[in-house]
């Protein structure tokens, strides 16, 4: 019925069948996107609050469907984690981010790693080769991994972080506060930066408890010599509060939505602000 020699496994209960159908279709979508070059890197600036300057940019992945419509990572990353395609996606992102950095020597990027990257024994060696191939100074790169992913693979994550730091890259703990948010883990993990989960930032102007939480995390992280980044900074009021709490860097719609990473020579416009990066 769906044509082109596709086959499906059917189960008695409809919901199971639909889920399976959906996953088979997504797997194929992702494969096609990889082979037909339908993934795109978008970037969003991360601003140093004290100076208002762009410190670096976070790489955010997008996929185009066959009709050219934009597909966001919350749709396909969880599927790719289950189908095992996430490793190919992580490699694609790193390779293309480094290729862009080779062309734009002013670019410093933060790259998201998936949970399964923590347990990927080849990632470190591959990264070393890519850095050499693209002739990138490792200080220009920082990696982001979620608190939950790091803690679920504590040993491997620690090893990966140390290995990447030996190369000269930085490491940030993403979505901090959404999971364990404990002092013990923060002390164990050799991260340079803590990225506070947007859920604690978005409503901070209205919610005094969020303020207390962000302040506590910031003081704790600073006490350990780590930098603090807040995401979901959506307006000037939030920014002013974060500044008062001592947060170092801010990222969010207040500064710019993510925009497509353009070829060199094409200026990138962040919601009206022309980047010098
Ligand atoms: P994340 O790493 O926590 O990224 C932040 C998400 O918040 C992004 O969504 C970003 O577009 C969005 N955002 C930024 N500023 C604001 C704001 O002011 N308000 C609100 N409400 N949202 C804001 P996006 O791009 O849809 O990415 C979703 C998630 O997908 C990311 O969460 C990350 O976990 C994952 N992801 C994105 N790119 C990659 C990638 O290249 N590799 C891997 N493994 N995961 C990725
Ligand atoms: Ca991130
Ligand atoms: Ca987040």
Please identify every residue whose CB atom is under 5 Å from ligand 2, which is an ion: 112, 144, 174
CA 250 – CA 55 distance, rounded (Å): 10
Q: Tell me which ligand sits closest to the C-alpha of residue 178.
A: 3
pLDDT at 20: 73
CA distances from 150 to 105, 147, 153 (A): 30, 5, 5
* Å from CA of 223 to ligand 3 middle: 23
- Rg from Cα positions in the chain: 20
Q: How far is CA 255 from the centre of its chain?
A: 18
pLDDT at 182: 80
CA 222 – CA 162 distance, rounded (Å): 20
pLDDT in tens, 159-174: 999 999 999 999 999 9
pLDDT in tens, 223-264: 999 999 999 999 999 999 999 999 999 999 999 999 999 877
* Å from CA of 92 to ligand 1 middle: 17
CA distances from 149 to 117, 135, 146, 171 (A): 9, 29, 5, 13
Angle between helices 86-103 and 123-134 (to 10 degrees): 20
Express as a percent the part of the chain with pLDDT over 70.
92
- pLDDT tens per residue across all 277 residues of the chain: 555 666 665 555 556 667 777 788 899 999 999 999 999 999 999 999 999 999 999 999 999 998 999 999 999 999 999 999 999 999 999 999 999 999 999 899 999 999 999 999 899 999 999 999 999 999 999 999 999 999 999 999 999 999 999 999 999 999 999 887 788 889 889 999 999 999 999 999 999 999 999 999 999 999 999 999 999 999 999 999 999 999 999 999 999 999 999 877 777 777 756 665 5
Ligand 1 lined by 29 (C-beta under 6 Å): no
Is 41 in contact with 64 (CB distance < 8 Å)? no
């Amino acid at each position: 019925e769906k044509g082109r020699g596709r086959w499906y496994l059917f189960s008695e209960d409809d919901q199971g069948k639909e889920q399976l159908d959906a996953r088979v279709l997504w797997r194929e979508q992702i494969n096609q996107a990889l082979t037909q070059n339908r993934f795109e890197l978008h970037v969003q600036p991360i601003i140093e609050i004290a100076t208002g300057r762009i410190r670096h940019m976070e790489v955010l992945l997008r996929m185009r469907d066959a009709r050219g419509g934009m597909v966001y990572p919350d749709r396909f990353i969880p599927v790719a984690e289950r189908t095992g395609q996430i490793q190919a996606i992580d490699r694609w992102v790193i390779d293309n981010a480094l290729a862009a950095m080779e062309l734009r020597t002013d670019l410093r990027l933060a790259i998201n790693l998936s949970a399964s990257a923590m347990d990927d024994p080849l990632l470190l060696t591959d990264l070393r080769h890519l850095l050499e191939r693209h002739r990138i100074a490792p200080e220009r790169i920082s990696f982001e991994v979620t608190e939950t992913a790091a803690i679920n693979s504590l040993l491997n994550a620690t090893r990966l972080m140390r290995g990447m730091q030996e190369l000269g890259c930085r490491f940030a703990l993403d979505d901090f506060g959404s999971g364990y948010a404990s002092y013990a883990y923060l002390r164990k993990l050799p991260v340079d930066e803590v990225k506070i989960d947007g859920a604690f930032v978005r409503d901070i102007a209205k919610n005094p408890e969020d303020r207390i939480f962000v302040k506590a995390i910031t003081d704790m992280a600073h006490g350990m010599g780590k930098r603090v980044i807040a995401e979901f900074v959506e307006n000037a009021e939030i920014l002013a509060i974060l500044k008062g709490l001592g947060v170092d860097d801010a990222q969010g719609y207040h500064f710019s939505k993510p925009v497509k990473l353009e070829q060199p020579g094409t200026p990138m416009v962040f919601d009206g602000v022309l980047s010098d990066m």
